[in-house]
Structure 1
Amino acid sequence: MRWDIFCQIVDNYGDAGVCWRLARSLSSIHGQTVRIFCDNLPTLNLLASGVHVDIKDKIQLLPWESSFENHRHQAQAPDVVIEAFGCQLPERYLAGLLVAPKKPIIINLEYLSAEPWIVDFHGKSSPQSHGIPKYFFFPGFQDQAGGILIDPVPPSSPPSISSIPASLEKVWSQLRPHAKRISIFCYPGAPLRKWLEDLASLDQDFDILLTHGHAELLGINTGQAIQLPEHIQLHPLPFVSQDEYDWLLSQCDFNIVRGEDSFVRAQLAGKPFIWHIYPQEDRAHEVKLAAFLDLYLEGANQDLRLSTIAAMTWAMPSQWFGAIDAWSAHGEAWRAHLLKKQGGGGLAARLLAFVG
């Protein structure tokens, strides 16, 4: 089938990351024909960089405006149209759908959530005045929800160090063999300076891997750099592609992530992590975080529950880092649980089954 995915980037990398990963899953794993229309093509191209040419060539990455002339030829008519995260289709594109000989299915792909109510709304129709069928599709962790994006499935054990991506070789050569590695990818509002200063109070060596843009948040190269003792070393990273970032997560002992795509990949890396969920004015993000933690920590003992909740709500590391070994074991078990629950291909496979 032909799939058109529309992506308006709100959270910079996260929205584009989900759309790109979904497109590559549909095309490379499931043999579908996919186009992405994006209002910020440079960001999308950055995330897709470094991917093998055989994968990238199967997907058309197009500017938003190019969708306006989409239906002059019947061969270009899509079977499925995805409004990623509820973005509105361009009026001229929608007009083309109305006159197309074959009407597609429109999918309103929502944000990932662990909230129980999504099960009741997942897959429900959304009647439209124009008559083209439209449905809500809710990604989620429950069996009755839309699944999560698991492709490409990470290896069951950490990759060989010989597989270091070229973009990370220089930084990797500077890391200390016995230091714990922490990657950081968070929003500017995080108490990052205070968090690192508290981390320095622990009697351990840490190599801190700062994803692109985070060195500036800490004043590096601006004359206001954070001052840390020698056992805490900061390593600014270049911008890396999606696959390279996946590799980075798998090689760290602890990860701080944000947005939807890195949130899922941190779980599939099987490591402890902090999800810096996108803050919302009505504090709805707190409800979403609590719903996820209810699932994530189901069956965990009280000490691990308290430590994990403290970490996820930005308590200082000295208050919970003593539980890191138990949390690491839990992370590996959660990864295995996710892959078992998503058997058959996760979100992309469930989408195919739904529209088929």
Structure 2
Amino acid sequence: MRWDIFCQIVDNYGDAGVCWRLARSLTSLHGQEVRIFCDDLPTLNLLASGVDPEIKRRINIQPWEASHNNSRHPVETPDVVIEAFGCDLPNRYLAGLLIAPKKPIIINLEYLSAEPWIADFHGKPSPQAHGIPKYFFFPGFQENAGGLLIDPAPADSLACSATVPESLETHWKLLRPNSKRISVFCYPGAPLLKWLEDLGRLGEDFDIVLAHGQLQQLQFSSSRPKQEITLPKSIQLISIPFVSQDEYDWVLSQCDFNIVRGEDSFVRAQLAGKPFIWHIYPQEDRAHEVKLAAFLDLYLGEAPQELKHAVIAAMTWAMPAEWYQSIAGWRDHSKAWHADLQKKQADGGLAARLVAFVA
């Protein structure tokens, strides 16, 4: 089938990351024909760098404006149009669909959520005045939701390799032999500097792998002259360059603890099987707090009470001294959660469920 994916980037990397991972899953694993129309091609192309050229060749990446001039012959109208995260289709593109002899199915692909109510709306029709069939598709952890975007599976990806990616060789040589590794990718609102200062008092050595832009974010949050950062000697900051999606997956797999944000890195942190903090995208109406609580209800459903308290404290940015004593139990829980995810997504997860739903 032919698929057109429309992606308007709100959260910089996250939205593009989901759309790109979905596109490569549909093409490489399910033999679909995919175009992406994106309003931020530089970000999308950065995430797509380093991918097998054969996989990338199968995906037709176009600027958002190119959708206004549909180059396909009318008989090649897409079978499926995806409005990623509820973005509106360009008017001229929609007008082209209305006069096409064959109407596609439009999928409103929503954000991932663990909230129970999504199962009641997943797969339901959304009647439109123009008459083209449109449906809600809710990614989720529940078996009766849209699933998770698990491709490529960790067993098939760079994440299993012990070989350091070329782009990270220089930075990885800075790691100390007996230190714990923590990757950091969070929003500006996090109390990261204070968090690192507290971490440095725990009596262990930590190497902090900062994603692209995090060092500048830290410096900006510093109240010291010339934006200097002063941390205990047990803390070493290592700032890495912008890396491709697969290389970032590898970083998550190589760290002992991960701080992530957005939807794509949130799922990949769980698939890495390590403890993590999800810095969920903050919303003015505080809806993010409800979403975080819903996920923690699922994530900690079988956990002992002490671990529940520790993880909830960590996820809400309590200082490490308040919860780090539970890290061993959290590691075991992360491995068990990862195994359970793999079992529940054995059907192929989001991409496979989308193909089956459309068929």
Q: Shared topology, TM-score over 0.5?
A: yes
Partners in 2 of 1:10 and 1:226 — Cα distance? Answer: 30
Residue matched to 1:338: 341
1:159 and 2:164 matched? no
Asked if the contact 1:70–1:77 (Cα under 8 Å) also holds between the matched residues in 2, the reply is no
Residue number in structure 1 paired with 2:287: 284
Take 2:155 and 2:229, find their aligned partners in 1: how far apart are those partners? Answer: 36
Return the alpha-carbon distance in structure 2 between the equivalents of residues 9 and 100 of structure 1: 28
**Where does residue 120 of structure 1 map in the other structure?**
120
Q: Show the counterpart of 1:19.
A: 19
2:28 matches 1:28: yes
> Are the counterparts in 2 of residues 14 and 260 from structure 1 also a CA contact under 8 Å?
yes
Distance across 2 between alignment mates of 1:355 and 1:156: 26
What SS does the corresponding residue of 1:22 show, helix, strand or coil? helix
Work out whether residues 71 and 96 of structure 1, in 8 Å CA contact, stay in contact via their aligned partners in 2.
Answer: no
- The aligned amino acid for 1:119 is A
Structure 1 residues 297, 234: closer, same or farther in 2, change over 3 A? same
Counterpart-to-counterpart distance in 2, 1:72 and 1:186 = 41
Shift of 1:223: 3.1
Q: CA-to-partner distance for each residue in 1:180-228, whole Å, 9 max, x for gaps? A: 0000000000001100000011000000000000110122899322101
**Structure-2 separation of matches of 1:69 and 1:76:** 14
Correspondence for 2:232: 229
Q: Which residue matches 2:245?
A: 242
Identity of aligned residues (%): 73
The yes-or-no answer on 1:312 pairing with 2:315 is yes
Q: Is the alpha carbon distance of 1:43 and 1:156 closer, same or farther for their aligned partners in structure 2, counting shifts above 3 Å?
A: closer
Contact 1:148 1:347 in 2 (8 A): yes
1:325 alignment partner, one of 325, 328, 331: 328
The answer (yes or no) to whether the contact 1:259–1:276 under 8 Å persists in 2 is yes
Q: How does 1:187-202 map to 2 (within 5 A)?
A: 187-202=187-202
Check conservation: 1:108, 1:136, Cα contact below 8 A.
Answer: yes
- CA shift for structure 1 position 74: 2.3
Q: Once the 2 structures are TM-superposed, how far is the Cα of residue 160 of structure 1 from its aligned partner?
A: 4.0
Q: TM-score, normalised by structure 1?
A: 0.97
Name the stretch that deviates more: 64-73 or 287-296.
64-73
After superposition, the C-alpha distances for 1:303-351 in whole angstroms (9 at most, x for unaligned) are 1000000000000001001111110111011011001001121000000
Q: CA RMSD in A?
A: 1.5
* Residue identity matched to 1:193: L
Structure 1 alignment gaps of length 5 or more = none
Question: Which residues in structure 2 correspond to 1:123-138 (within 5 Å)?
Answer: 123-138=123-138
Return the offset for 1:155: 2.5
Given that residues 75 and 100 in structure 2 are in contact (C-alpha distance below 8 angstroms), is that contact kept between their aligned partners in structure 1? no
* Residue 169 to residue 31, structure 1, CA distance change in 2 (3 Å): same
Which runs of no fewer than 5 residues in structure 2 stay unpaired?
none
Distance 1:206 1:351, change over 3 A: same
Give 3-state SS (helix, strand or coil) of 1:43's partner.
helix
Pairs within 5 Å for 1:1-356: 1-70=1-70, 73-155=73-155, 159-161=160-162, 163-219=163-219, 223-356=226-359
